[in-house]
């Protein structure tokens, strides 16, 4: 029996869709069968499986486990937790791979699967290969066993291993996502004063959507920090692999700004080390890496691509604007370069302590740049990458220096702008940063001009 996936659920970094529309238990079973086939082809025999707290996750997890066992691999179920707990289990249990059932920061009815094989991200062509295996029915056969393992306490203990002392007054907002129980156990063992928001796992997300890259979702955290005069606040996305933060005044620190704080003690301990930041990150971050004696590398956006860039450059730390922060195995208790927002939170406490300043003071010392959020422009899927190629060709023909790691990034006297094709949607995304609103407007005009030449109008 074969089962073909809907093409739109095959993403660059994982498999993700909307339950009831293009994602079902049958898909979960097929994912399990196909992944088991790949694991066995690589010589593996055991797979760790976890899930987030979405309403559809129990059924999808059950289907995934059924498929994995039918494919002849043994399954170790670790239960509800953040995706980084699955990464920890894959790195520390006697398993060869891992799958987490999660919709990450997507809308509540979305869900999917994040996969790891042999301590490396499983993405891109590997994900597409799962669909090929399913369509061909080229599944391995067997009767794998299913067992359970409790890893939450060990995972929290690993987080605490990176703690360096200090007592702060901190607010924590879990957004009713999967990080809640781990955060409760973590802060119970941290000194200081801790105020918890929305730690109960609830796939309806009744308080706000768990995506800390949207400032509206940080309103509860900002209000609590300001009302109680706390030192700072920390927020997590739905599966705990992306971090958000606000300072004592309630000002947001975006992912690149957090990286600029977190990398300071890393570069103090590992002098001359490489730091990877994604192509969306502020020029301030790249300049700061060099100022601290590090080697700055610009990487393509996407958590799997960032993990590979870390390995390629032997970088102990990396970060994305989206709040994915990665610590390598040699940096303050990280493991295998995976993104773990709870680990990043502990390291943020450590970095603030070692700085001898408040997070508010560190935020105030950052240059007063103005920038856009991600601007999105719908595009014909057949034209998505072609438009980027056209823009790059025109710029290079005019002699404009272009960074083409992921789309086109152009630096001018006013600042810089970026135009790239989304990895997960049929849109182009743009971002720009400048020293003033007038300079930002000039950068946006340059983007508009390039889009117009390719027949696309920005709303």
**Blockwise average pLDDT, block size 10, the chain, 459 residues:** 69 81 93 97 98 97 98 98 96 96 92 93 90 92 97 95 85 98 97 97 97 95 98 97 97 97 96 96 97 96 87 93 86 63 95 97 96 89 92 96 95 95 83 96 96 85
pLDDT confidence of residue 254: 96
CB 324 within 8 A of CB 114: no
> Catalytic site residue 454?
no
Angle in degrees, CA 214, 220, 225, rounded to 5: 110
Q: What is the pLDDT of residue 148?
A: 98
Phi, psi of 428 (to 5 degrees): -95, 145
Is 420 within 8 Å of 408 (Cβ atoms)?
A: yes
pLDDT value of residue 176: 98
The alpha carbon of 228 is separated from its chain's Cα centroid by a whole number of angstroms, namely 30
Q: Diameter of the chain by CA atoms?
A: 65
Please state, in angstroms and rounded to a whole number, the distance separating the CA atoms of residues 77 and 98. 10
Task: Write out the DSSP string of 152-165.
Answer: HHHHHHHHHTT---
> What pLDDT, on the 0 to 100 scale, is given for residue 342?
96
Can 7-150 and 154-364 be said to share one CATH topology? yes
Give the 3-state secondary structure of residue 67: helix
Per the residue annotation, which of 104, 140, 260, 304 is the catalytic one? Answer: 104
Closest alpha carbon to 288 in 308, 270, 267: 267
The domains of the chain are located at 7-150, 154-364, 370-453
> What pLDDT does 373 receive?
86
Rounded to two decimals, what is the model's pTM?
0.93
CATH code: domain 370-453 is 3.30.310.50
- pLDDT at 76 (0 to 100): 98
The structure tokens 């299913």 sit at 146
Q: What pairs with residue 376 in β-bridges?
A: 429
Q: CATH: 3.10.20.310, 3.40.120.10, 3.10.290.10, 3.40.50.300. Which one for 154-364?
A: 3.40.120.10
Taking each helix axis from N to C end, the angle separating 152-160 and 180-187, rounded to the nearest 10 degrees, works out to 50
Strands 169-173 and 243-247: unpaired
Give the full edge-to-edge strand order of the sheet including 325-327.
295-299, 274-278, 317-319, 325-327
CATH class of 7-150: alpha beta
């Amino acid at each position: 029996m074969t089962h073909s996936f809907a093409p739109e659920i095959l993403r660059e970094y994982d498999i993700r869709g909307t339950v009831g529309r293009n994602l079902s238990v049958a898909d979960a079973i097929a994912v399990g069968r196909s992944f088991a086939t790949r694991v066995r082809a690589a010589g593996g025999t055991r797979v760790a499986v976890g899930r987030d707290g979405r309403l559809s996750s129990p059924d999808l997890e059950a289907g995934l486990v059924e498929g994995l066992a039918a494919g002849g691999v043994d399954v170790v179920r670790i239960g509800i937790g953040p995706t980084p707990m699955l990464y920890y289990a894959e790195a520390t249990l006697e398993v060869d791979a891992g799958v987490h059932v999660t919709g990450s920061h997507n809308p509540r009815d979305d869900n999917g699967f994040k996969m790891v094989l042999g301590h490396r991200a499983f993405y891109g062509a590997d994900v597409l290969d799962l669909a090929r295996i399913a369509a061909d029915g080229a599944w391995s056969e067997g009767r794998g066993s299913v067992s359970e393992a409790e890893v939450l306490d060990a995972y929290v203990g690993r987080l605490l291993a990176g703690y360096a002392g200090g007592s702060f007054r901190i607010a924590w907002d879990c957004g009713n996502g999967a990080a809640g129980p781990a955060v409760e156990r973590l802060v119970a063992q941290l000194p200081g004063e801790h105020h918890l928001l929305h730690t109960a796992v609830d796939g309806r997300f009744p308080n706000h959507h768990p995506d800390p890259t949207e400032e509206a979702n940080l309103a509860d955290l900002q209000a609590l920090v300001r009302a109680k005069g706390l030192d700072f606040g920390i927020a997590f996305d739905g599966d705990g692999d992306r971090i958000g933060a606000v300072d004592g005044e309630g000002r947001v620190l975006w992912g690149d700004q957090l990286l600029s704080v977190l990398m300071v003690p890393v570069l103090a301990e590992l002098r001359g080390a490489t730091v990877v930041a994604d192509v969306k990150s502020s020029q301030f971050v790249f300049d700061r890496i060099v100022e601290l004696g590090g080697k700055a590398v610009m990487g393509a956006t996407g958590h799997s691509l960032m993990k590979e860039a870390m390995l390629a450059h032997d970088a102990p730390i990396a970060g994305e604007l989206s709040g994915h922060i990665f610590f390598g195995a040699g940096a303050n208790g990280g493991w295998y370069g995976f993104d773990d927002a709870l680990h990043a939170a502990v390291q943020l406490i450590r970095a603030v302590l070692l700085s001898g300043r408040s997070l508010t003071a560190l935020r105030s010392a950052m240059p007063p740049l103005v920038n856009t959020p991600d601007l999105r422009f719908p595009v014909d899927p057949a034209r998505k990458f072609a438009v980027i190629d056209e823009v790059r060709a025109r710029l290079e023909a005019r002699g404009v220096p272009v960074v083409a790691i992921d789309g086109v990034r152009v630096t001018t006297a006013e600042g810089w702008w970026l135009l790239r094709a989304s990895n997960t949607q049929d849109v182009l995304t743009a971002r720009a940063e400048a020293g003033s609103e007038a300079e930002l407007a000039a950068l946006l005009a340059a983007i508009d001009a390039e889009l117009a030449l390719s027949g696309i109008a920005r709303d």
